Structure 1
Amino acid sequence: MELKFELKKLHLKETFSIAYGNYNHRDVLLIELSHQNCKGYGECVAIDYYQINLQSFVLKLKEIQTQIESQKIVHPKDFFKFLSGLNLHSFLLSALDCAYWDLFGKLENKSFLELNNISSKNLVESSITISIGDIEDQINKIQKSEWTQFKVKCKGLNKKDIKKLLQLNESIALDSNASFTDEDCIWLQENKVVEKFSYLEQPRPIDHYKILKKENFANWMADEDCQNIDSLEELIPYYKSINIKLMKCGGITPALEMIKKARNLNYKIMIGCMTESTIGISAGCVLTGLVDYVDLDGANLISNDYAEGNFVKNGKIILSLKPGLGIDLK
Structure 2
Amino acid sequence: MELRFELKHLQLKETFSIAYGNYNKREALLIELSHQNSKGYGECVAIDYYKIDLQYFVLKLKEIKGKIEAQKIIHPKEFFHFLLSLDLHPFLLSALDCAYWDLFGKLENKSFIELNQLPSDNLVESSITISVGDIDKQIQKIEKSSWNKFKVKCKGLDTNTVEKLLELNKNIALDSNASFTDEDCLWLQENINVQKFTYLEQPRPIDNYKILKKESFANWMADEDCQNLDSLDELIPYYKSINIKLMKCGGLTPALEMIKKARELNYKIMIGCMTESTVGISAGCVLTGLVDYTDLDGANLISNDYATGNSVENGKIMLSQKPGLGIDLK
TM-score by length of 2: 1.00
CA distance in 2, matches of 1:321, 1:203: 37
1:58-97 equivalences in 2 (<5 Å): 58-97=58-97
Q: Match of 1:23?
A: 23
User: Post-superposition shift, 1:321?
Assistant: 1.1
Cα offsets for 1:213-246 (capped at 9, x unmatched): 0001000000000000000000000000000000
Q: Match of 1:247?
A: 247
Q: Match of 2:316?
A: 316
Residue identity in the other structure for 2:174: L
User: Post-superposition shift, 1:200?
Assistant: 0.1
Runs of 4 or more, structure 1, over 4 Å off, are none
Cα offsets for 1:272-301 (capped at 9, x unmatched): 000000000000000000000000000000
SS in 2 for 1:11: strand
CA distance in 1, matches of 2:215, 2:134: 32
Q: Match of 2:160?
A: 160
Residue identity in the other structure for 2:187: W
CA distance in 2, matches of 1:43, 1:226: 21
State whether structure 2 residue 283 is matched by structure 1 residue 283.
Answer: yes
SS in 2 for 1:39: strand
Q: Match of 1:151?
A: 151
Q: Match of 2:44?
A: 44
Q: Match of 1:138?
A: 138
User: Post-superposition shift, 1:62?
Assistant: 0.3
SS in 1 for 2:87: coil
Q: Match of 1:204?
A: 204
SS in 1 for 2:66: helix
User: Post-superposition shift, 1:316?
Assistant: 0.2
Residue identity in the other structure for 2:169: N
1:109-128 equivalences in 2 (<5 Å): 109-128=109-128
SS in 2 for 1:86: coil
CA distance in 2, matches of 1:289, 1:249: 19
RMSD over aligned CA atoms reads: 0.3
Residue identity in the other structure for 2:180: F
Q: Match of 2:193?
A: 193
SS in 2 for 1:184: helix
Percent identity of paired positions between Structure 1 and Structure 2: 82
CA distance in 2, matches of 1:214, 1:164: 25
Cα offsets for 1:169-227 (capped at 9, x unmatched): 20000000000000000000000000000000000000000000000100000000000
CA distance in 2, matches of 1:120, 1:209: 34
User: Post-superposition shift, 1:156?
Assistant: 0.2
CA distance in 2, matches of 1:36, 1:169: 53
Q: Match of 1:55?
A: 55
CA distance in 2, matches of 1:120, 1:239: 27
Residue identity in the other structure for 1:42: G
SS in 2 for 1:146: coil
CA distance in 1, matches of 2:159, 2:190: 13
Q: Match of 2:304?
A: 304
User: Post-superposition shift, 1:155?
Assistant: 0.2
SS in 2 for 1:290: coil
User: Post-superposition shift, 1:120?
Assistant: 1.2
User: Post-superposition shift, 1:119?
Assistant: 1.9
CA distance in 2, matches of 1:25, 1:295: 19
CA distance in 2, matches of 1:316, 1:283: 15
Gaps of 5+ in 1: none
Cα offsets for 1:8-64 (capped at 9, x unmatched): 110000000000000000000000000000000000000000000000000000000
Residue identity in the other structure for 2:175: D
TM-score by length of 1: 1.00
Gaps of 5+ in 2: none
Residue identity in the other structure for 2:40: G
CA distance in 2, matches of 1:243, 1:203: 13
Query: Aligned residues, how many?
Result: 330
SS in 2 for 1:303: coil
